[in-house]
Amino acid sequence: MNKKKQLIIAGPCSISSKKELNETIKNIYSEIDFFRCGIWKARTNANHFKGIGNKGLKWLSEIEEKYRTPVAIEVGTPKHVEQALYHDLKVFWIGARTTVNPFYVQEICESIKGTDVEIWVKNPIHPDINLWIGAIERLKNTGIKKIKAIHRGFFCMKERKYRNSPKWNLIKVIKETFPELNLICDPSHISGDKKLIYSISKKAISLNFDGLMIETHANPENALSDAKQQINCNEFKELMRKI
């Protein structure tokens, strides 16, 4: 197996309380490079939990300071960016449902112009590699220097095993187009099932990915989004030992 040191991003899909957030970060901060936490969730079902919203931003800037670990959140609109910047957050990701639309991506670009934020771009929902490349190009054209690409799998009607099919061959195109970018694998959204996280992580490492984004929650059974695919803090530590 490839022995390159992986960049590790971990944290909950979303949180429903400050207690959940604190319980998660205090158990994993020493083993990660970035903490992730969704604050606004782009839910398919209109009546499902939409994230804790603005009040969570303050909690995140507090833990960033306390644990000296950079915190990343998903942004989907210029308003999200504005509120996150107001709370001094500086690492954002663009989710699969946002990468699909060049208008959204361009609006986000306008809202971060002139800042030194770091942005990660997840692949779009469907396997249109040029849409993914286009989103990254827009950020580069905006003058953003710190960009990463995240493979979270693609929606596929025929897929049985995974929630979102990984397309390992397409990944080579991203590597060739942007050799300078870190390429991260998100086994949580690929699998949709915590039992598959280890095998997908191993595969990504063997394919020379630069890092992993692993959804980790202090109490996944009670999580209000993506409960089935999140691992708890002990499982996360075990995974880190194994890879």
Tell me which DSSP letter residue 20 carries: H
| Binding partner of residue 163 among Mn ion, ligand PEP, none, CB cut-off 5 to 8 Å per kind | none
Judged by CB under 5 A, does residue 226 bind Mn ion? yes
Nearer to ligand PEP (CB atom), residue 38 or residue 220: 38
CB 105 within 8 A of CB 98: yes
For Mn ion, which residue of 8, 9, 10, 13 counts as binding (CB under 5 A)? 13
Nearer to ligand PEP (CB atom), residue 41 or residue 179: 41
Contact residues toward ligand PEP (CB under 6 A) are 13, 38, 95-97, 122, 152, 189
What is the signed CA dihedral for 209, 190, 32, 16, rounded to 10 degrees?
Answer: 160
| Binding partner of residue 108 among ligand PEP, Mn ion, none, CB cut-off 5 to 8 Å per kind | none
Task: Supply the minimum distance, in Å, between the C-beta of residue 15 and ligand PEP.
Answer: 12
- Cβ atoms within 10 Å, residue 145: 10
Buried-state track 32-70, b at ≥16 Cβ within 10 A, e below 16: bebbbbbbbbeeeeeeeebbbeeebbebbbebbeebebb
Nearer to Mn ion (CB atom), residue 20 or residue 226: 226
φ/ψ (deg, to 5) at 228: -70, -25
The end-to-end CA distance of the chain, in Å, is 9
Beta bridge partner(s), residue 205: none
Task: Supply the minimum distance, in Å, between the C-beta of residue 232 and Mn ion.
Answer: 15
Nearer to Mn ion (CB atom), residue 97 or residue 140: 97
Nearer to Mn ion (CB atom), residue 43 or residue 167: 43
| Binding partner of residue 138 among ligand PEP, Mn ion, none, CB cut-off 5 to 8 Å per kind | none
Residues binding Mn ion (CB under 5 A)? 13, 226
